[in-house]
Amino acid sequence: MKIIGLTGGIGSGKSTVAQLLEQQGWVLVDADRIARDIVEPGQPALTELADAFGQDILLPNGSLDRGLLASRAFASREKTDLLNSITHPRIQEETQARFEAARQGGAEFVVYDMPLLVDKGLHRDMDATIVVDVDAEERVRRLVEYRGLEETDARRRIAAQIPDDVRRAAADFVIDNNGPREALDGQVAGVVEKLHALLGSRDS
Ligand code: ADP
């Protein structure tokens, strides 16, 4: 089984590309999804977070008040480290479990959709890395128009990530998503074709 990293700046179209890869028969492991799943009610990390940051971070229905946790966890470096010490091991464990489940299920290609893949140097563990690339100004426009973010918030989030040229330099394949949504189909099919040829075929 090959694990292909998929990354890009916020608003670049990773989720859109991930869906196209799923349609090509790849199994999706979504890092953002895992980060949410490990703090669902009933998960040990949620109990530990409430013990560490206050029981009132739990809403009446038992789910996490993300805003309140964020305000406390990002108040200092020490608190952020505490948050990470609770969530990171669970995230890593769950990520490995999903890779293993894909392997058991006979998957040949897994796409690991991870916004911070290059920021964290995880691209080095991948069999290959795909970067979805869009000019920052266009990403701001899409985040404001389609995702309802405030422009300043969109710019702040983009500025908090590694520069686009550093991310691009880590790519084995760059998908240019500056054009219309339809221009992705052919590019994704081309990358899949190349990766199957390089790393294995659907039938082998
Ligand atoms: P990411 O997962 O990288 O943050 P998304 O896949 O959610 O990005 O894309 C951000 C937004 O831009 C979404 O609303 C998506 O539908 C839209 N989008 C993606 N590709 C294009 C495109 N080529 N043209 C216009 N809008 C696009």
According to DSSP, residue 30 is labeled E
Rg, C-alpha atoms of the chain: 18
Task: Kindly state if the Cβ of 43 falls inside 6 Å of ligand 1.
Answer: no
Segment 172-192 mean pLDDT = 97
Residue showing tokens 């081309």: 190
Q: Domain 1-26+107-198, what architecture?
A: 3-Layer(aba) Sandwich (3.40)
Name residue 31's amino acid: A
Q: Indicate the domain borders of the chain.
A: 1-26+107-198, 34-92
Task: Kindly state if the Cβ of 114 falls inside 6 Å of ligand 1.
Answer: no
- Reported as a pLDDT band with limits 50, 70 and 90, residue 201 is low
| Residues contributing to the annotated binding site | 11-16
Residue-level pLDDT at 52:
98
- Reported as a pLDDT band with limits 50, 70 and 90, residue 200 is confident
State yes or no: pLDDT of 199 exceeds 80.
yes
Residue-level pLDDT at 203:
47
Residue-level pLDDT at 204:
43
Percent of the chain, pLDDT > 70? Answer: 98
Q: Which atom of ligand 1 is nearest to the CA of 184?
A: 23
Task: Kindly state if the Cβ of 180 falls inside 6 Å of ligand 1.
Answer: yes
Residue nearest (by alpha carbon) to ligand 1 atom 4: 11
| Residues contributing to the annotated binding site for ATP | 11-16
Residue-level pLDDT at 27:
98
Mean residue pLDDT of the chain comes to 96
Task: Kindly state if the Cβ of 124 falls inside 6 Å of ligand 1.
Answer: no
Give Cα 143 distance to the centre of its chain. Answer: 16
pLDDT in tens, 49-58: 999 999 999 9
Q: Report CA(17)–ligand 1 centroid distance (Å).
A: 9
* Backbone phi and psi for residue 129, each to the nearest 5 degrees, phi listed first: -130, 130
d(CA 89, CA 61): 26
Residue-level pLDDT at 37:
97
pTM: 0.93
Task: Kindly state if the Cβ of 154 falls inside 6 Å of ligand 1.
Answer: no
Residue showing tokens 């560490």: 52
State yes or no: pLDDT of 44 exceeds 50.
yes
pLDDT in tens, 57-116: 999 999 999 999 999 999 999 999 999 999 999 999 999 999 999 999 999 999 999 999
